[in-house]
Structure 1
Amino acid sequence: MYLDASHGDPSSLEPRMLHPMTPTWQRPLSVAAALLCTVASASGEAVEPGTYEIITQTAMPHLEENLRYATTRERRCLRSNELPTIFPILQHPSLEGCNLNSERRRGGTIRYRLVCASPQVATGTARLDAGRGRVAGVLEIKMGGKNMTFAQRIAAVRQGECETP
């Protein structure tokens, strides 16, 4: 609905419908669609489960230009509960005992803190932006006891359903 000032006279504001009323037969469909959208968003799934192609770039700004960046690709089944493990660097022996926790969500953005069993190992934060069939994120790490920082960026695109074993 909007207000219409006929012939430029603001004193004659009248409510008008922008579109004709929805036909009676479409109303139940509209309600059903709205309910389905509510159920889907309430499921808590940050990403649509499936097989994703994940491109990872590790950036180490303290190294020489030709050694500064390393890029890898992998395909793997991914579900929302596995998002804290999406960064491959977390499997490296130097980060043993470290994981992403303290998850905070706002819309499609998920944030984590890097927590290590020994705080001298490393500290850091991660941010993931999840959308329909895609995830992008960055993990920033500062190695403890050293003045070494680096980041790992990921871009993941859903390729289909997970394969059954």
Structure 2
Amino acid sequence: MTHRSLCRGAVVIAALCAVPASAGPAHVESGSYEVEVTLELPHLEGMTQKKTASLCLTADPAANTHGIMVLSDNNPLSRCPFVNRYEEGDQISFDIVCEGKNSANAKAHYVFRQDRFQGRITMQMGGKNMTMTEVQTGRRTGSCEPSKAPTL
């Protein structure tokens, strides 16, 4: 075996070791989260909207998006289904697709860290040439009360 062959083999092994062995559910710690929500509008820096909301998240991988949702006010995407969910390690991503011609849609991506998360939902409002982004930063504040709905 030549030196060149050994080097190629080492490069392939290093590349394989850098890739996770298999995709699995994102690690989400169940509980109540206080979420800071910022709605970023392009070219309107002074018009950024901010608010705080509470969410009850679950670690159950069968819970579709673990309780994550669109939190900005008067947003048609809050009533639309989440599809194409993908979870791996500490991340989850999914699409939000409303039915009908020229309807709203979005792509969401979240990263979880121990008792915190950060997420971005990039939204295209139906039939409009405008994209806006909802940025969420959440921190766990304790346990959830059973059957408690999100507070906005």
TM-score using structure 2 length: 0.67
Structure 2 residue runs of 5 or longer lacking an equivalent are 1-23, 148-152
Would you say 1:75 and 2:57 are equivalent positions?
no
Pairing of 1:8-23 with structure 2 (within 5 A)? none
Deviation at 1:46, TM superposition (A): 3.2
Tell me the residue number matched to 1:129.
Answer: 111
Tell me the residue number matched to 1:111.
Answer: 93
Tell me the residue number matched to 2:12.
Answer: none
Would you say 1:101 and 2:90 are equivalent positions?
no
Tell me which structure has the larger Cα radius of gyration.
1
Higher RCO (CA < 8 A, seq sep 6+): 2
Size of the aligned set, in residue pairs, is: 120
Tell me the residue number matched to 2:35.
Answer: 54
Identify the match of residue 70 of structure 2 among 60, 79, 87.
87
Which has more helix, going by share of residues?
1
Pairing of 1:19-58 with structure 2 (within 5 A)? 44=25, 46-58=27-39
- Identity value in percent: 27
1:84-112 Cα distance to aligned partner (Å, 9 max, x none): 643213x7353365232211112111110
Partner Cα separation in structure 2 for residue 66 and residue 87 of structure 1 = 22
Provide the aligned C-alpha RMSD in A.
2.4
Which has more strand, going by share of residues?
1
8 Å Cα contact 2:69-2:78 kept in structure 1: no
